[in-house]
Amino acid sequence: MRVRKAVIPAAGLGTRFLPATKATPKAMLPVIDVPAIQLVVEEAVRAGLDDVLIVAGRNQDSIEDHFDRSLELEAFLESKGKFDELKTIRQISDMARVHTVRQQEALGLGHAISVAREHVGDEPFAVLLGDDLIHPNVPLLRDMLAAHERYGRSVVAAMEVARDDISKYGCIEPEPLDEHLVRAVSIVEKPPADEAPSNLAVIGRYVLTPEIFDTLRRIEPGAGGELQLTDAINLLAQEQAVYAYRFERGRYDVGNPLDMLKAVVELAAERDDLGPAFRGWLAEFMRRTKLD
């Protein structure tokens, strides 16, 4: 069955970005001039998914408002002859059918995905985590969808990380199949580095079969009483094949301030409208401060 729907969990509190996230959802923090969550929705649309469910939390109405029409703003822009800005604003609400549902308690990523069951139904679906931005030129999700269509099973994104960092991720025990695809024999959530079966980490893109909802019901809460999606996928991997699609570039972990800054710098440097002037300023800044 063709994948039609995407789920974007966005209920996190964003404590690493306080005080900015005290009143602003982390998903709405701008990457230059576009909220991070809009970049994730655009990625889903580029891959052919135009039905998007955002799982939001309390006090995050601005996420829903962002993807809704803003008739007052549109009228103002039109009256001022700001037609480029008007086109940009209208494209946000027209790019996809964006729905929202509330995760009433912060009980983990697995719980957030379970909240999407009524919307997803008995179809395969994609999950895109907003903390992991993928460069627009990297067709990761499209390639994962192609792997799902080929095998009819769940596919997770995977990237090799430093052995010392594997304890921050879900870790895959891989069985190689081809250049990009491995079978996930098992997946362990945040193992100690000396116990990890590999340095192949799960990154925040998933294409999941609807059987994931059954395994989510059967797992026990982990640390902090949270339901871990990794645990549910590992249980699924014991019952049917689960694949991991390996990629090497184009990922920004914007869940931390340093990587958010890297994303802003790299993406700004590539923009036609900002890039030339920004690159010139950045080169002068490096010379002036004698930074390596």
Question: Over the stretch 202-219, which tens digit does the pLDDT of each residue have?
Answer: 999 999 999 999 999 999
pLDDT of 257 reads 93
Tokens of 285: 């800044």
For 5-255, CATH gives 3.90.550.10
**DSSP reduced 3-state for 126:** strand
The residue among 84, 165, 94, 114 whose CA lies nearest residue 9 is: 114
Confidence of residue 170 (pLDDT cuts 50, 70, 90): very high
38: pLDDT strictly greater than 70? yes
Confidence of residue 13 (pLDDT cuts 50, 70, 90): confident
1: pLDDT strictly greater than 70? yes
Question: Over the stretch 110-136, which tens digit does the pLDDT of each residue have?
Answer: 999 999 999 999 999 999 998 999 999
Lowest mean pLDDT: which of 168-172, 238-242, 288-292?
Answer: 288-292
Domain with CATH 3.90.550.10 in the chain: 5-255
**Which residues, including other chains, have CB under 8 Å from residue 70's CB and lie 6 or more apart?**
89
> What does the mean pLDDT of the chain come to?
93
Mean pLDDT for the stretch of residues 38-57: 95
